[in-house]
Chains A and B, each alone.
Chain A
Amino acid sequence: MFRKSLFFSLFLCLFGIFCHAQNPVVIKAGTVLIGNGNVLRNVFIVVEDGKIVFVGKGYVVKPDAHVLDFADKVITPGFIAANAHMDVVKQTNEEGKEVTPQMNLLYSVDPRAKDFDKAWRSGVTSVYLAPGNLNVFPGTGTVLKTKGRTPQDMLVRNHVHLKMVLGREPGQGNSYPSGFGPLDLRNRRPQNRMGVVFIIRYTLTDLQNKSGLPDAQLTPDELLFRQVLQGKTPLRISARSYMDIKTAFRLMEEFGYRWILVGGVDAYRHLDELKANDIPVIYGPVYQKKGRGDFNRENDRYMARTPVLLAERGIRFSFQNNAESPISALKDEAIHAVELGLAKEKALKALTLDAAQILGVADRLGSVAKGKDADLLVFDGDPFEPSSSLLSVVIDGKLFDPNK
C-alpha cells in the first residue's frame, strides 16, 4: 500500500514538474491594450503557473508549448469592479451595532453564486466586495477573482479599505413611525444624516483622545481606526449628494484621514477639491432602475458626463455597480462615457489599472505586464465598440469561453 502510494506520489510530482517546466501557455496576440494607455502589436504573452512571465516580441516558441493564436484579436487586461454589488453573500449587513469595523465577508462568500458567473462572462475578472451600507462603519472589504472553488482560492487581498457610509442609508430601518413597531435593537441612533455624522465624530474623537495609549491596550476595533487616523488604511466613503461629499471633506480636515469617494452623484460639483486633495472616485452606476423609494432618490441625479469631467481634470476614477444595476453592465457604463467624449484609453484604464491602483492591488492586477496575474480578455475588435464581442476570458492562466 505504502509503496503504491509512494509511486503514485512520485508520478504526480514528475507529472507536475513536467507540466510546469515544459508547457507554458503562449498567446500570440495581434493587439494588446496594456491597460496603462499603451498598445503593443504582434507580441507574445507567455503564461506560466497563472502568472505572466513574458510580454514582447522575439519569443522562441518551443514545439510542445500550448499556443493560443489570437493574432487578429484584441487583448486587454481583465476588468476590475472597484466596488461591486453582487448577490453572493446571504446577509451582507450586521445590524447589531452601528460601528462594526471588524466585519469582513470573505468567508461568507458563496463561489457558486450566479453573479460570479455573470461577472466573468461579461469580462469582470476581479471584484471588490464589502459589507452593506446599513452601518456607519460596516467593515473592511475584500478583493476576489470571480472564478474559483472556494473564497480562499479566489482571494487577491483581504482587509482592503475601511468602509464608511454617509447619507441616510445607515439610518434605514432604525426608526418606526411613532406608535408602530417594537422597541427593538433597530430603534436607535442614527436615524438620519445628523446621527451618522455624530457617530463618526464620536468614534474618531474617542480614538484621538486615546492617542497616547499603546496598541496593546486598544480593542481590535480601535486598532483599525488608529490605522485609519495614521493614514495606513484609507477610508472608502460612500457619499452621493453634495452635502455628504462636503461632510467628508470637513471630517477629513478635522481627523486627517485618506479617503476614496464612492458613489459621487454630485462629484462634478467638487472637481477642484477632489483634484487638490488627490481623492479617487468610484463613480456610478449612471444607468440603473430609477426611483426606488425615498432613500435612493439622489441616485436619480447621476450625471452621465461626470467621467468625462473627472478625466479632463486628471482625477483617478473607476466604475461600480449597485443593487439596481447588474455587474455585467460595468463595461456599458464605460461605453456610454466613451460616447459622451471620454477617451477610449482612459475608459480602459479606469476599468483596469486605475481600479487596481485605487484598491492597492496593482502589483497583481490591472495591466498586461510581467509578474502580474494572467487575467486577460480577448475581443474580436475594439472593446468599446458595441459591435465587438468578448470571445475568451483568461483567469489565472486558464482559458474560459464566456459564450458557453
Chain B
Amino acid sequence: MRRHKLSVPLMSILLIIVGICLFAGGTEEAYLIKGAKVYTSGIQGVLTDATLFIENGRFKKIAQGEEWPSVPVKNYSGKTIIPGMVDAHSYVSGYYHLLENTEVFTSDLITAVVFDALDPEVKLALESGITTVNLVPRNENLVGGISSILKLTRDFNNISVLKKRSFLKISFNGEVIRPDRAPTSLMGAENLLNQEMETIKSGLEQNREDIFPQNGLRSMLEGNLPPMIAASSLAEINTALQWLKKWLMDGVIVGGEEAHLLIPYLKQNNVSVLMSPILPFYPEKWAKNAAHLIKQGIPAAFVSYMPEADPLSLRLSALMLYHQGLTQQEALKTITLIPAQILGVADSVGSIEEGKHADFVVLEGEPLDLGSRIIAVYVNGRAVFQGKK
C-alpha cells in the first residue's frame, strides 16, 4: 500500500514532464528564423540577414525588416541557410529491397512500400541535408518498377509521400545485359521492351481485363507515368533517346555520363538528365562535361545513388560545377530546385519560397564550402537534426 501511495505523485510528476516536452514540441508550429544568410534557390536569390516566418510546416513569409508577429525566435546570425536538398534518384534505406530480380519486367512494383524510417541511412541522409528523395527501383531489371517521392523522416508513423507514382524506371544500363537471360545486348533490350509495350498496347486497344491495373507500362502508355531511363554511355543514351522518340514521350535520363555528346538530340526530345554524382575517382573531365551540359540549357541535376555513393557527394558535385565556372547559386540549384522541377514537385519543395514546405538546412558557413558543417536540418518546419554548434 505504501508503495502505491508513493507512486501517485511520481507518476504525476512524470506525466507533467512528458506534457512539457510535448508542449515544447508543439510550440514549434509557428516561429521566426532570424539573422542568417539565405540562399533561396528561388526568385528572391540570396538574402542577407533575412527573416523567415514559419507556420504549420510551411514558409509563411520571407522578408527583411518588417513587422513580425510575436512568436518564438530562433537566432542563426552568422549562419547560412539553404533549401533542403532534393535527391531525385536514391536507394536510401532499401538497397536490397529495391531489386526484384526474378523477371525482366517488374513494372507493377511501387517503391514507397520499402522505405524504412528507422534505417541508419535515413539518419545519414538527413544529417547531410537531404530532405526529399525519389526512391527508385534498381537498374538490374529492364523495367524495374514505379518510383515514389518521399519526405525523409525518422518518424515511422508519419511518413509523408509527396507522390506515390512518380516515374517508371527503365534501364538500358550495362547491368541489365546478362549472358544467361534475354536481353544479352543493348539492341535486344530495346527490342524486348518494344515487344512488351506492343503487347500491352494491343491489350489496351481491346480493353482486355487480364492486365494488372497497377501495371506501370500500362500507365506509361496511357500518359500518366513518365519514364526514367538509366543510361550512362553514349550508346545507351542514344538508344534511350531513339526509344523515347519512337514512342513520342518526354522522359528523364539518369546516369548520363556521356550525355554531353548528344546535346542536340536531348534538346529535340525535351529530355532532362539526372547525373550521377562527381566522385573523386571519376575522370577529371566529367565535371567539365556536366558543366557544359548545364550551360547548354539542358535541365540537369545531380543525384546521390545513396548508399552507393556518400550523400556528401551532392554538395561535392555542386562545388565541382562552381569550379567549372557556374555561379554559386546555379551550382546550388542543381541539387535543390532543378531536381524538384524534374520530379514535378517544385510547387512544394526545392526552394525557400512563400507557401512551400519549410525544409531547410542551416550551415556554419558557405554551402559549397565542404568545410562548413551542417548545424541543423528542418523538415516540414521541425528540426530533425541538431548538430554541434
On A, residues with C-beta under 8 Å from B are: 89-97, 100, 102-105, 107-112, 131, 139, 149-152, 182, 184-185
Specify which of B181, B192, B234 is in contact with A185 (CB 8 Å cutoff). B181
Main secondary structure of the interface of A (DSSP, over half): loop
* Residues of A close to B192: CB separation below 8 A: 96
Known contacts A96-B192, A150-B261, A150-B262: A91-B238 contact under CB 8 Å: no
B262 touches A96 (CB 8 A): no
B185 touches A93 (CB 8 A): yes
B187 touches A107 (CB 8 A): yes
B265 touches A110 (CB 8 A): no
Q: Tell me if B348 counts as interface (CB < 8 A to partner A).
A: no
Report the separation of the CA atoms of residues A107 and B189 in the bound assembly, to the nearest whole angstrom.
Answer: 12
**B179 nearest CB across to chain A (Å):** 8
Known contacts A107-B235, A110-B235: A131-B187 contact under CB 8 Å: yes
Report the separation of the CA atoms of residues A104 and B242 in the bound assembly, to the nearest whole angstrom.
Answer: 12
User: What residue in chain A is nearest B191 (Cβ atoms)?
Assistant: A102
B181 touches A96 (CB 8 A): yes
Known contacts A103-B191, A150-B262: A111-B186 contact under CB 8 Å: no
User: What residue in chain B is nearest A88 (Cβ atoms)?
Assistant: B235
Known contacts A96-B192, A184-B180: A151-B238 contact under CB 8 Å: yes
Q: Tell me if B239 counts as interface (CB < 8 A to partner A).
A: yes
Q: Tell me if B177 counts as interface (CB < 8 A to partner A).
A: yes
What string of 1s and 0s marks CB contacts (under 8 Å) between B173-188 and chain A?
0100101111111111
* Residues of B close to A91: CB separation below 8 A: 177, 184-186, 188
Specify which of A92, A110, A184 is in contact with B185 (CB 8 Å cutoff). A92
Report the separation of the CA atoms of residues A150 and B188 in the bound assembly, to the nearest whole angstrom.
Answer: 20
Known contacts A90-B235, A107-B235, A110-B233: A96-B184 contact under CB 8 Å: yes
A94 touches B188 (CB 8 A): yes
B182 touches A97 (CB 8 A): yes
A185 touches B191 (CB 8 A): no
* Residues of B close to A95: CB separation below 8 A: 179, 182, 184-185
* Residues of B close to A107: CB separation below 8 A: 186-187, 190, 235, 238-239, 242
Interface pairs (14), CB distance under 8 Å: A90-B235, A91-B188, A94-B187, A94-B191, A95-B182, A96-B181, A97-B182, A100-B191, A103-B185, A104-B187, A107-B186, A107-B239, A108-B185, A139-B187
User: What residue in chain A is nearest B237 (Cβ atoms)?
Assistant: A107
Report the separation of the CA atoms of residues A260 and B282 in the bound assembly, to the nearest whole angstrom.
Answer: 47
The 8 tightest CB contacts between A and B, nearest first, are: A96-B182, A94-B188, A91-B185, A94-B185, A107-B238, A108-B186, A95-B184, A107-B239
What string of 1s and 0s marks CB contacts (under 8 Å) between B84-103 and chain A?
00000000000000000000
Most buried by B among A102, A108, A110, A149: A108
User: What residue in chain B is nearest A139 (Cβ atoms)?
Assistant: B187
A149 touches B185 (CB 8 A): no
Known contacts A91-B177, A93-B185, A110-B233: A150-B191 contact under CB 8 Å: no
Report the separation of the CA atoms of residues A97 and B184 in the bound assembly, to the nearest whole angstrom.
Answer: 10
* Residues of B close to A94: CB separation below 8 A: 182-185, 187-188, 191
B233 touches A96 (CB 8 A): no
Most buried by B among A107, A112, A182: A107
**A130 nearest CB across to chain B (Å):** 11
A103 touches B265 (CB 8 A): no
What string of 1s and 0s marks CB contacts (under 8 Å) between B229-253 and chain A?
0000111001100100000000000
